[in-house]
Structure 1
Amino acid sequence: MARSQQDRPPRRQEWATRTARDRTDAPARGRLLDAAEQVFARLGYGPATIADITAQAEVSRAGFYVYFASKEEVFRVLAGRVRDAFLTAQDVPGVDTDDVAAVARASTAAFIAAYARHLPLLVLLEQQARGDAEVRALWEEIRERPVRRAARYVRRVAAEGRAHPVVDPLTLSRAVGGMSIEFARLVAERPATYERAVADATAMYLHLLGIGAAPQQ
């Protein structure tokens, strides 16, 4: 069955004419990404359509194609955004990186918040990774890059004598990541538990690092 004119992506000439103007409209792209995450979380990957995303974002279908070629592409861009959110969670701006306890608390708090916020999309990513090699690569990055980055920090502070890990840094980072995910799932169900979850996860992190617990806030 032929697609209607409304369902067809814009012709290349039309797209090229709009590109210079519309790609400067970063808020529209951000709205589309936010809307796509909400739509995927609500409907699931298969049932979600570009029409659902554009309606949620209040952006035209032609506007969608300025930024994304397909539903598959917007999903992969979302996966990359989630990966970046977890890496950013380890940047802990404003925290003295020589203060290991402060870094542990700030990074744990940011990780739990990011995971709880993106939990529905993360569930979909794990499902889609089983049948899509590109999504699988992104999923592996989401799981592994934050762990390996944390392990590098643990190695550094251990070498400087400011921490005394009870296990090797990579194992420690995997353990901390795993328990932070479990706390994040609890927080997603019961947001009021966030502060307690952060305090408990941080206390266990510091214990594994072999340093004193951070003061309770």
Structure 2
Amino acid sequence: MARRQQTQQEWATRTARDRTDAPARGRLLDAAETVFARLGHGPATIAHITAEAEVSRAGFYVYFASKDEVFRVLAARVRDAFLAAQDVPGVDTDDVPAVAAASTAAFVTAYAHHLPLLSLIEQQARTDAEVRALWEEIRERPVRRAARYVRRVAAEGLAHPVVDPLTLSRAVGGMSVEFARLVAERPDTRDAAVRDVTAMYLHLLGIGAAAQQ
């Protein structure tokens, strides 16, 4: 009973700290992404992560129960990064070309940055149900959110999609992923990639080149 209470107290402490933006937790997550990208999921250990983060092993367990848990938290963080890529603060959401350019740039940048981890998430999704659910969210939620935006601007006469919004969003998402892979290999191609994907996006939206100028 005493041991169970101690475990529950430790869990409560860790859960409470999970809700904060603790610097140590952030360092552990950044370190974990670096370690997983460098070593892969299997070879990576908690010791590798804590050494990279310069946080004690006990400090790790304040925030995470296991290596698998920190990996799942990273997967959720990547999902959130792609959803955030569709938030374009400072851009008028009725300015469809500006939204297309800003969201494309953010998505391509995020995908290129997280590419090594994304590959691992896809691999782990084959054997881990929780990671599989996160992988589906990473792939589907940005697409469905973009489709909702396309439906809105189409209904308001701001765009004239050449295909249905969901198909359009899947196509743009696929193009963005392929160009992001190239950007990951050659960062100097980012601006050209964003320009080209944005042009294709606007074409599918039925918005002419003149609208981009």
What residue identity is the alignment partner of 1:146?
Answer: P
Aligned residue for 1:83? 79
Q: Secondary structure at the match of 2:161?
A: coil
Aligned residue for 2:152? 156
**1:38-67 deviation line (CA, Å, top 9, x unaligned):** 000000000000000000000000000000
Aligned residue for 1:60? 56
Residues 14 and 64 in structure 2, CA contact (< 8 A), matched pair in contact too: no
Q: Distance in 1 between matches of 2:180 and 2:149?
A: 22
Aligned residue for 1:35? 31
Equivalent runs, 1:1-217 vs 2, <5 Å:
12=7, 15=10, 26-213=22-209, 215=212
Residues 183 and 193 in structure 2, CA contact (< 8 A), matched pair in contact too: yes
Question: Structure 2 stretches of 5 or more lacking a match?
Answer: 1-5
For residues 113 and 16 of structure 1, do their structure 2 counterparts lie closer, same or farther at Cα, with a shift above 3 Å needed? Answer: closer
Q: Distance in 2 between matches of 1:177 and 1:16?
A: 39
Q: Distance in 2 between matches of 1:175 and 1:20?
A: 39
Shift of 1:25: 6.9
What residue identity is the alignment partner of 2:30?
Answer: D
Q: Which is worse superposed, 25-34 or 193-202?
A: 25-34
Q: Secondary structure at the match of 2:91?
A: coil
Q: Distance in 2 between matches of 1:133 and 1:13?
A: 25
Q: Secondary structure at the match of 1:101?
A: helix
Question: Structure 1 stretches of 5 or more lacking a match?
Answer: 1-10
Shift of 1:212: 2.1
CA RMSD of aligned residues (A): 2.0
What residue identity is the alignment partner of 1:209?
Answer: L
Q: Which is worse superposed, 155-164 or 15-24?
A: 15-24
Q: Distance in 2 between matches of 1:13 and 1:157?
A: 50
Q: Distance in 1 between matches of 2:54 and 2:12?
A: 21
Question: TM-score, length-normalised on structure 1?
Answer: 0.90
For residues 52 and 212 of structure 1, do their structure 2 counterparts lie closer, same or farther at Cα, with a shift above 3 Å needed? Answer: same
What residue identity is the alignment partner of 2:122?
Answer: E
**1:82-122 deviation line (CA, Å, top 9, x unaligned):** 00000000011110001000000000000000000000000
Residues 15 and 63 in structure 2, CA contact (< 8 A), matched pair in contact too: no
Question: TM-score, length-normalised on structure 2?
Answer: 0.91
Q: Distance in 2 between matches of 1:168 and 1:25?
A: 40
For residues 138 and 14 of structure 1, do their structure 2 counterparts lie closer, same or farther at Cα, with a shift above 3 Å needed? Answer: closer
Percent identity between the aligned chains?
83
